[in-house]
């Protein structure tokens, strides 16, 4: 069992204020595989104080951006050296299939760090603009102390979408990992120390959700960066609105994949399986609503059902596994509840259903619903598991209407032999990211975020850096 007894605060490993612990349970074996201290409000107060001291009086925000970029480059190299270890650890603690852990969990964070390091070497912190009385200097300055509150499904990726731009901007950060996945954050802390990031610039405290609200509400926090459920996002937005605190929210999704009549289904299914079922369906960008024309509806249902049924379900450490367990028993039960809801609403489970694949482990069989409509709960609410719903449309205009008939707007895709026509469809769907014959891969240099209830603000790319900067205009006479 992996055991830690300290928290990472102020550049050191410090004893927690309380005696509580967080048990990390393998979703594959249901056995305890790790234990870490449970951070208390007092621990978070200490972390905020360290971050505040580092921002108000430390060297980090007073370095040039190019100097911070060099530090990020060092961090990227050291992080990459621990990538395989991180992948194994994330698979252990949350059940991510090891193949996805390598390319989706820990591969992108290295790229994000390196991309922001490259950006920072040439980024203009100041510029001159003409004014009535002479030149105006426009400066970009760090927003301050950031609370980064992250989920369990892609813990390192989400941390890095916040940490890399915040560090480049000159901010200091308190990271609160989810209680389901605290182990990987200890490796991150070790890498930060090895990269000689100054004390207090990054602080990491694993804690429960109540302590997380204490962090978000803390008067020493200047900005909250949150990824998680829309319900939690609304609560955080309320707190930040009351305090007039900067906030960015990356929330839920119910993304639609539009299958056009000219789509070559056999060739599309390989890429589509990633779009629909990545991370065992525990992904906010998963394409879980599948829109098929009535003329090809049965054909699409069969193709999707065969794709889902062909996924190897089992030990997430096996490279051949496509579907691992749900992160926790409560998540397994939540997904099963939605399968019951779908059946009660009159949809037909053409594969999968309520029979559990194994007696041990929090597994759910990949499930595909047919005979579904877009007003069903299984088509409107985020399930966060391997459950797909195939919905018929009358024509392309109807497909776009159904895709947009959602509270969410995070991702989506269109599948067609005519890529240019696919681009026309993409421009009509109100989502923050979109793909033609693929799921948008969330490149380091392009913005990621949602429309509507899928969030506020953007991460990644120059737009992600802008979220950690304040703009100052300086006029002068003489």
Residues acting as catalytic residues: 250
**Contact between residue 225 and residue 162 where contact means Cβ atoms under 8 Å apart:** yes
- CA-to-CA distance for 181 and 461, rounded, in angstroms? 26
**Contact between residue 403 and residue 258 where contact means Cβ atoms under 8 Å apart:** yes
The DSSP line for 241-266 is HHHT-EEEEE----EEEEE-TT--HH
Largest CA distance in the chain: 79
- CA-to-CA distance for 274 and 257, rounded, in angstroms? 12
DSSP H or E stretch at residue 413: strand 412-415
| Closest alpha carbon to 455 in 234, 270, 256 | 234
The DSSP line for 61-102 is GGS-HHHHHHHHHHHHHHHHHTHHHHHHHHHHHH---HHHII
CA atoms within 13 A on the CB side of 56: 9
Terminus-to-terminus CA distance in the chain, angstroms? Answer: 68
């Amino acid at each position: 069992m992996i055991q830690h007894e300290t928290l990472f605060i102020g550049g050191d490993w410090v004893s927690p204020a309380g005696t509580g612990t967080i048990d990390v349970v393998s979703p594959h074996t249901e056995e305890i595989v790790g234990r870490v201290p449970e951070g208390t409000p007092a621990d978070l107060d200490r972390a905020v104080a360290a971050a505040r001291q580092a921002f108000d009086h430390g060297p980090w925000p007073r370095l040039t951006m190019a100097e911070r970029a060099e530090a990020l480059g060092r961090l990227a190299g050291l992080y990459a050296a621990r990538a395989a270890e991180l992948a194994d650890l994330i698979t252990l603690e949350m059940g991510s299939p090891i193949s996805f852990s390598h390319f989706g969990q820990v591969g992108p964070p290295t790229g994000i760090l390196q991309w922001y390091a490259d950006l920072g070497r040439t980024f203009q912190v100041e510029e001159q603009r003409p004014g009535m009385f002479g030149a105006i200097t426009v400066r970009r300055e760090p927003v301050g102390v950031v609370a980064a509150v992250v989920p369990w499904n892609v813990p390192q990726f989400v941390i890095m979408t916040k940490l890399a731009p915040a560090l480049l901007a000159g901010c200091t950060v308190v990271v609160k990992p989810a209680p389901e996945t605290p182990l990987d954050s200890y490796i991150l802390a070790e890498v930060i120390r090895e990269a000689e990031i100054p004390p207090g610039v990054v602080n990491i405290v694993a804690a429960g959700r109540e302590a997380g609200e204490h962090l978000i509400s803390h008067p020493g926090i200047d900005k909250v960066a949150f990824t998680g459920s829309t319900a939690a996002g609304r609560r955080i937005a309320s707190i930040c609105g009351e305090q007039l605190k900067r906030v960015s929210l990356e929330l839920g999704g119910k993304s639609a994949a539009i299958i056009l009549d000219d789509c070559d289904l056999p060739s599309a299914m390989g890429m589509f399986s990633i779009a629909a079922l990545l991370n065992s369906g525990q992904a906010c960008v998963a394409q879980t609503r599948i829109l098929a024309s009535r003329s090809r509806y049965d054909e699409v249902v069969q193709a999707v059902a065969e794709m889902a049924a062909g996924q190897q379900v089992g030990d997430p450490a096996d490279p051949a596994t496509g579907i691992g367990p749900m992160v926790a028993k409560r998540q397994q039960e939540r997904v099963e509840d939605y399968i019951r809801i779908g059946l009660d609403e009159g949809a037909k489970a053409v594969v999968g259903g309520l029979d559990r694949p194994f007696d041990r482990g929090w597994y759910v069989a990949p499930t595909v619903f047919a005979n579904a409509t877009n007003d069903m709960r299984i088509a409107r609410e985020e399930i966060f598991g391997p459950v797909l719903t195939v919905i018929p449309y009358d024509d392309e205009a109807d497909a776009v209407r159904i895709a947009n008939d959602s509270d969410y707007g995070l991702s989506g895709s269109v599948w067609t032999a005519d890529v240019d026509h696919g681009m026309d469809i993409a421009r009509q769907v109100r989502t923050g990211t979109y793909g033609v014959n693929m799921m948008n891969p969330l490149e380091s240099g392009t913005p990621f975020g949602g429309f509507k209830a899928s969030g506020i603000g953007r991460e990644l790319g120059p737009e992600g850096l802008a979220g950690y900067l304040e703009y100052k205009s300086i006029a002068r006479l003489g």
